[in-house]
Amino acid sequence: MRAGLTPASIRAAARKAATRLRMKDERGVAAVEFALIAPVMIGLYLSTVITTQAYMSSRKVALVARSLADVASRQAVGTAGCTPTTSGNPCLSNTDMVNILDAAALIMAPYSLSTLKMTLSRIDIVKDTSASPQTWAVTKWSVGYNSGVARPCNGANAAFTSKTAFPGVTNSTTDKPLQVGNYQTTQANYQNYLPSQYTTSTSPTGFLILADVVYTYSPGFSFKAFNWSNLTTVTSGWTQGFWSRTGLPIDGHNLTAQSFTPPGASSAVATTVTLCASNDPSNT
């Protein structure tokens, strides 16, 4: 054995050499780092995409509601194929209603129409003739699209206790004005309520065309791999009202339930029609 070399020194030198070799061999480090960070980055990317898409769908819902109420409120006098109860009033036929719903649904493109629910209603805002007039909101007609919830003929307003000063609406358990409340369209029983801005003693009176739109957005893929079960769907809603542009009541007594396939839809949808013949404070 050479002078100065001992078994201990040889082992120490070998360990140093092995350590230097391990430190220089960096093959596979990038792959390991990528494997660690990839799930986090993919999750962030997908959640960003879904959040953006869900937000855009909610903006589309607002546009649909505004367009639906706006177009319907512009219905003019003398519509072909529709005879109003009172001559000289605007009137909605089944063809008119299908065209309005079709046009509104197109705004949702490129999103799927399968979960789009729309309701178009005429709400009469009228004052009674009591010494201290109160304002009431009563449903005249309501059309639901794709299971859209109709505004009820009986709004169950408990404050309505006397029909004497309010002819045209029966004071019974089946025929009352809508209740006062600021409910979102994603809340249960929202159809029974109207914001206080329409129902205070100083509210303007007239014929309100009201659109309620609800849409459920579903991502095109599942987040089960990340155990994010709360990101399966996002539901948004919007309510928009416009006064009748002619100032006249828009007659809907000719409307009946329809089944049709909107442009861009993969299957037919059905409408439901609620006509509140006994709610007639405006005699229309």
Model confidence at 2: pLDDT above 60: no
**109 confidence band (pLDDT: 50, 70, 90):** confident
**Residue 16 resides in a domain:** no
Quote the pLDDT of residue 3: 55
Q: Find how far residue 8's CA is from the centre of its chain.
A: 79
Question: How many domains does the structure of the chain reveal?
Answer: 1
Query: In this structure, are residues 172 and 128 in contact, taking their beta carbons and an 8 Å threshold?
Result: no
CA–CA gap between residue 17 and residue 69 (Å, rounded): 81
144 in any annotated domain: yes
**For 203-207, 218-222, 250-254, which range has the lowest pLDDT when averaged over its residues?**
218-222
Q: Is residue 125 part of a domain?
A: yes
The boundaries of the domain holding residue 188 are 44-275
Quick one: pLDDT band at residue 274, thresholds 50, 70, 90? Answer: very high
Which residues, other chains included, contact 57 with Cβ-Cβ below 8 Å and sequence gap of 6+?
Answer: 108, 111, 215, 217, 234, 236
pLDDT for res 167: 64
pLDDT tens, residue by residue, 238-259: 999 999 999 999 999 999 999 9
Distance between CA atoms of residues 119 and 191, nearest Å: 10
Report yes or no on 12 lying in a domain: no
Q: 233 vs 105, which has greater pLDDT? A: 105
Q: Is residue 3 part of a domain?
A: no
Q: Is residue 210 part of a domain?
A: yes
Q: pLDDT band at residue 193, thresholds of 50, 70 and 90?
A: very high
